[in-house]
A and B are shown apart, each in its own frame.
Chain A
Amino acid sequence: MTNADAIVAALYFDGKSSRRHSVTLTVREQVAVVSGDIRRECAIRDLRVSERFRNARRKVTFPDGAYLEILDPAAFDALLARTGYQDSFVVRMQQSWRGTLAAFAVTAAILVLGYLYGLPAAANFAAKTLPVNVERMIGRETLSFLDKRMLSPSTLPPARQQAIAGRFRNLVTPAEGAPSYEIVFRKSRIGPNAFALPSGHIVLTDELVHLVDNNDAVMAVLAHELGHLHERHLTRRLIQGSMIGAAAMLLFGDVSSVIANIPTVMLDLKYSRDAEREADDYAIAMLNKNGISVSALIHVFEALEKEQGDHSPYLSSHPPASERIARIRGAR
């Protein structure tokens, strides 16, 4: 190949008809010269050159939509080199294996660090910046929904209800600025349970009160749920969940929404367990501050585990009871 004058074979399409023209391309003094079936000149700064791919023909597009398909890639590369053409930074990065490997390493590092530290920190910041009123608005209708489907009025004697609520209200919280809350008593169709709603309601089921059958243990359960409210876990989980969902769609959505949902569910599990650990720590601190033995909280987990075994719906998204008990023993 003689590329002293770098003459490049190409096809020319004029942008007006699909007819193909055989031409050659050369560059003289920053002007591209097309000759052959068609004669045409154009300043090279007005031309767009497509990216170099392994098998695809490169295209040189004129401002009016006409373009050349290059038939002789080696001669074209020589021509580009001679005119001082340089690929963009992104193209150079992807065309070297070193650049690709670096991109892979950085992407993986960002994803892992973002999942472990970045997203929880950002969600924590966002949740604590968001006024409580907004959070309450989000969860306003959850309790009435649950009342229709899964809960019925409590059969605990009113005196017992008042004793529980009154005692808990007199406890000191481990940190300043505990949010306002309301303890609601309900009979449950889904077994012993207690949960906090974004609306500030702490739902305590009769079944759980009967199961633990111990006033200190009920205080421990309530302290754990108040921990969820105080730490804004519900809003944090909501933000983290939707961010993971968005990231999974970005990564896998092109291929399959079935695959995109797998990481969402699996990755959310860690956040769920982290939140439970935080609420346990909150409960431990609250019990210690009020002179109640933390064995009350251990009693709750033991009772739940005995009642429902490992398959408890209450424990499934939570750390294993044995691990939580060991943690409490450690904290003591």
Chain B
Amino acid sequence: MVNPDELLAATEFPDQTDRQHAAPGTQPFVFTGSGSEYFRIWIVNLLFTIVTLGIYSAWAKVRKTRYFYDNTVLAGASFDYHGSPVSILRGRVVALFFFGAYNIAFMISDAAGFAALALLGAAIPWLIWKSLQFKLYNSSYRGIRFGFGGTAGKVYLTYLVLPLATVLTAYLLAPFTHQRIKKFQHDHSRYGSTSFSFHASAGSFYKAYLIAFAIALGGMVAIGLAFGGTFVAIIKAGGPREAGPVAVGTIAIFLLVVYAWLFSLLPLFLTLIQNLIWNNTRLGNHRFTSRMRVGKMAFIAVTNMIGIVATLGLFIPFAQIRTMKYRIESMTIVPSGSLDDFIAGVQENASATGEGAADLLDFDLSL
């Protein structure tokens, strides 16, 4: 028989003896999922989803999420997902109805289209809110559930008023709106009875956007300079056909490089934002760190894309695991005390926030 204490030793905090005063060491998030194992889950999920014309997708989502959660380990314990497939299916039917109605309405007439757009605009913030509540309420760590509060007023301000203002200001408000959305999400999340809080300023979001923009621009200039000579030669020769096959090949490489660059911009930007968000999020007095590197993430994104295209999609589950592993393992929690002292708090205010698990719908809007 295995002695539990021996197995535990590997996961203990370094300074168990004096946990009242000294902060225990930084705890990394560990992801133990493997691409070949997830591939099997993915392909079986896909088969049943197709055979049942999409109905199984709700069960598939639960099995996929459980795989990711079970394989995410922090301080010697893993996460768990409790979402019910039937609730997820109901949510998907509602979402399908809204988006279907919206798509058909514009074919009928512009008036019907705009009416559907207004309806969608009014519904989406509410759907996002319920979806956040569903996702967090159905996630747990060490047997304690996460939760999400918030008020309808804040939801509509964050997901309707601010996005509209962003469009009206030609997207100058975009970093500010992004900061408010993340602040809303993190400030109203909780783990048991302990609240998360968010401390990144709007200014820091503007800075991240500017850095991303500068990198994007710098890359384009560098590509332009690298290929500029060929283009001048082509123009002088009077056209690509006259300049010969080498010039045509160079143009093809140029297009490929531009495409790869544009494709790696989004993961690059998300890297900056994930670091910004998690380095400024706290759970009670515990801090998080996120140390993703832009170059590494861009490499993962581009090689994933090549893999997916070259295998006609079979690489997708491997790509998802690679990305997930890098994102999760870039994170740590810096505890200010013991991680043993969280108390479940959801039970008391479940009714106050309307979080009856069975009544919630998951709309699965990945944001």
Contacts and interface: CB of A to CB of B under 8 A. Distances in A.
Instruction: Tell whether A and B belong to one assembly.
Output: yes
Interface of A: 1-2, 7, 9-11, 13-20, 22-24, 36, 50-51, 53-57, 59, 61, 65-67, 69, 71-72, 75, 90, 93-95, 97, 99-100, 103-104, 106-107, 110-111, 137-138, 140-141, 242, 250-252, 254-256, 258-259, 262
A95 B40 contact: yes
B340 A20 contact: yes
Contact of B4 (A23, A93, A254): A23
A94 B39 CA distance: 9
A17 B39 CA distance: 35
Contacts of B47: 103-104, 106-107, 110
Interface in B1-43: 1-5, 7-8, 32-34, 37, 39-41, 43
A242 B96 CA distance: 13
Contacts of A24: 4
B214 interface: no
A251 B316 contact: yes
Given A100-B40, A250-B49, A19 B341 contact: yes
| 7 nearest CB pairs, A to B | A13-B143, A55-B32, A9-B4, A18-B342, A56-B70, A18-B142, A15-B143
B1 A75 contact: yes
A54 B41 CA distance: 12
A72 B7 contact: yes
Contacts of A2: 1
A329 B154 CA distance: 69
Given A10-B4, A67-B80, A103-B46, 16 more contacts: A9-B1, A11-B77, A13-B143, A15-B344, A16-B143, A16-B344, A17-B340, A19-B340, A24-B4, A50-B80, A51-B63, A53-B37, A54-B37, A59-B80, A94-B43, A250-B49
B40 A255 contact: no
Contacts of B70: 50-51, 53, 56-57, 59
Contacts of B107: 138
Nearest to B51: A110
Contacts of B33: 53, 55-56
Given A72-B2, A110-B50, A259 B108 contact: no
B321 to A, nearest CB: 12
A51 B66 contact: yes
6 contacts: A7-B1, A56-B71, A59-B78, A90-B48, A110-B50, A252-B316
B144 interface: yes
Q: Helix, strand, loop or mixed for chain A's interface?
A: mixed
B2 A9 contact: yes
Interface stretch (B161-169, B225-233, B246-254, B302-310): B302-310
Given A53-B67, A94-B41, A100-B44, A255 B304 contact: yes
B320 interface: yes
A11 B340 CA distance: 13
A255 B80 contact: no
Contacts of B344: 15-17
Contacts of B108: 137-138
Interface of B: 1-5, 7-8, 32-34, 37, 39-41, 43-44, 46-51, 54, 57, 63, 66-67, 70-71, 76-78, 80, 103, 107-110, 140-145, 192, 263, 304-305, 308-309, 313, 316, 319-320, 339-344, 366
B143 A67 contact: yes
Nearest to A54: B37
B343 A17 contact: yes
Given A9-B7, A16-B343, A53-B71, A259 B1 contact: no
A66 B143 contact: yes
Nearest to A23: B4
Contacts of B103: 242
B263 A255 contact: no
Contacts of A106: 47
A107 B141 contact: no
A141 B109 contact: yes
A56 B78 contact: yes
A9 B57 contact: no
Given A51-B66, A59-B70, A18 B339 contact: yes
B34 A55 contact: yes
Contacts of A22: 4-5, 8
Given A1-B1, A18-B142, A75-B1, A254 B320 contact: yes
Nearest to A9: B4
Nearest to B69: A56
B71 A55 contact: yes
Contacts of B109: 140-141
A100 B341 CA distance: 43
Given A13-B77, A53-B37, A53-B71, A65 B143 contact: yes
Contacts of A55: 32-34, 71
A69 B1 CA distance: 16
A94 B60 CA distance: 12
A295 to B, nearest CB: 35
A142 to B, nearest CB: 10
B100 to A, nearest CB: 10
Contacts of A104: 43, 47
A95 B43 CA distance: 12
B76 A259 contact: no
Contact of B46 (A14, A138, A251): A251
A64 to B, nearest CB: 10
A17 B192 CA distance: 8
Contact of A18 (B49, B143, B319): B143
A250 B54 CA distance: 9
A252 B304 CA distance: 12
Nearest to B49: A250
Nearest to A50: B70
B316 A255 contact: yes
